[in-house]
A and B are shown apart, each in its own frame.
Chain A
Amino acid sequence: MLSVRAVERIRRWGPAKLALPLGLLLAVAIVAPGLTQESGEERKDPGREWALAAGCDLSGSEVPMSVGEFDYAAGAGSKTLEEAVLESSSVLSSEGASYSEQTLRDAVAAADTSTNPIEVRLKGAALTVERTSDGLYQVTQLVMCA
C-alpha cells in the first residue's frame, strides 16, 4: 500500500519522471540474476574431482595431491593414446608412483576414448590426454595422490 505522501509525490512528479528510475530497476532485475548465476556455476573447486579420478584416500579431512601440467613443443606428441601414456611412465615413477607397462596398457584399454581430453585412471593417479588437431596425443595433466 502506498502512503498518502507517496501518492501525492507520484501525482506531483508525473509518470514520466518516475519511469526512468522504474526502468533502471527493471533492467537491474533482468540482468543481475543472470550475472550471478554465470559466475556461481563456473567457480567449482576441482579438488574432489581430482581426488576421485586418481582414486585418492578420501577418509581424512585433507587430501594431498600433486598436480602437474606439461607444455609441448609445436607438433610434438605421440601417435597413439597408448604410446602417450607409456611415455609418461618415467614421469610417474620419478614423482613417486611406478606402474608396470601392463598396468598402463590396461588403464588405456579401460579409458573412455569418446571424449577429448581423455582421462586415463590408474590406482593413485589420473592422466589427462589431449588429442591435438594434428591427430597426436599429448599427456597434458597429471594428478597423483601424495
Chain B
Amino acid sequence: MMNARLPGFLTLLVGAAIIIAFLPSSALAHDSYYWFNPIGWDNHADIDYKIDASIPGSAGSAFEDRIHSSVGRWNSQCCIGTFHFDDVGNGDRAFNDPCNWKEDATDVWVFHAEIGIPGVVGENFHCTVYHQQQDYTDIHSGRVTFDEDYTWYTGDDGNPPAGQYSVADVAVHEFGHDTGTFKGGNATEGTSGGHWVPAPSTMCASGGAESDWTMCGPTFDGEGYKIPLEPHDIDTFQDFY
C-alpha cells in the first residue's frame, strides 16, 4: 500500500515542480518600477516619419543616415515593426505645438532646433487625445528634436569624440519613445518620462552595468553611452504589444 502511494505522491510533486520551473513566474515579471503605460498610435504598425529641412546637410546627409539606421534598429528588432520614412514633402514644418499637426497625415517629424531648456540634448513631443469613455489615450502626431546648441557626431560606431553627441544614440532613444511608450502613469511609483528608472531598482543605476540600456534616463555623454538595443530594452518593449 505504501509502495503504491509514495510514487504517486512524488510524481505529483515532480509534475508541479516541472511546470512551475518552466512557466514564467510572477516574481520574474517586470516590477512596478519599470513598467510603463504604453499609449499607442491609431495604427502602430504603420508610423510615417519625415525629416525637416532644419536637419543639417541635404537629403541623404550623414545626419539623416544615422536617423534612418537608428529607426531601422527598432524596425528590425521590436514589436512595433514599422516606422516608414516618407520621402515626399519633407521640410519646413512649424517646429512647435505638435497638436496643431494632428490632421496631418505624417506621424513623426524630426527637427534640429533650439529646444530652449539648458542642458537638454534631445526632445520628444506628442499630441495625444484621451478618450474618456474608453479610458484610452492615443497618439496623433509626434516630434523628435535634436538641440542645435550641441555638436552632433554622425558616425555609427558609438564612439563620439569628447564634447560631441551621437545622432545615432539619441535617435534610437527618441524613436524608442515613438514606439508608443513614454510617460509613466504614476510619478509616485517612480515611473519616469518613458525611461527605465534607476532607483530602487538596479536598472539604469548611475555607473552600473545596465546604465547603457537604450531607454534608461539618458545621459548622452559620449563614450559612456553605447549604441543599443540591449536585450532588456527589446524584451520590455515587446511585452507591451
Contacts and interface: CB of A to CB of B under 8 A. Distances in A.
B123 A74 contact: no
B193 A140 contact: yes
Contact of B8 (A15, A62, A94): A15
Contacts, number: 239
Contact of A130 (B4, B19, B26, B193): B193
Interface string B158-177: 00000001000010011001
Contacts of A44: 37, 185-186
B91 interface: no
Contacts of A63: 129-130, 132
A77 B198 CA distance: 17
Given A91-B116, A141-B183, A27 B15 contact: yes
Given A15-B4, A76-B119, A65 B128 contact: yes
Interface string B176-206: 0100001111111000111100100000001
B9 A19 contact: yes
A69 B130 contact: no
Interface size for chain A: under 10, 10 to 19, 20 to 34, or 35 or more residues? Answer: 35 or more
Contact of B127 (A38, A64, A117): A64
Contacts of B187: 115, 117, 119, 128
Given A49-B186, A76-B120, 6 more contacts: A16-B4, A71-B220, A73-B219, A133-B198, A138-B119, A146-B127
Most A CB within 10 A of own CB, among B5, B17, B25, B99: B99
Contacts of A14: 4, 8
A46 B185 contact: yes
B83 interface: no
B230 interface: no
B96 interface: yes
A23 B26 contact: no
Interface stretch (B27-35, B47-55, B61-69): B27-35
B121 interface: yes
B124 A27 contact: no
A28 B23 CA distance: 8
A88 interface: yes
A126 B178 CA distance: 21
Interface string B90-118: 00000111110010000000000001111
Given A35-B29, A74-B220, A130-B193, A16 B11 contact: yes
User: Top 8 nearest A-B pairs by Cβ distance?
Assistant: A76-B119, A23-B15, A47-B130, A74-B221, A47-B137, A27-B19, A15-B8, A34-B26
Contact of B30 (A20, A22, A42, A88): A42
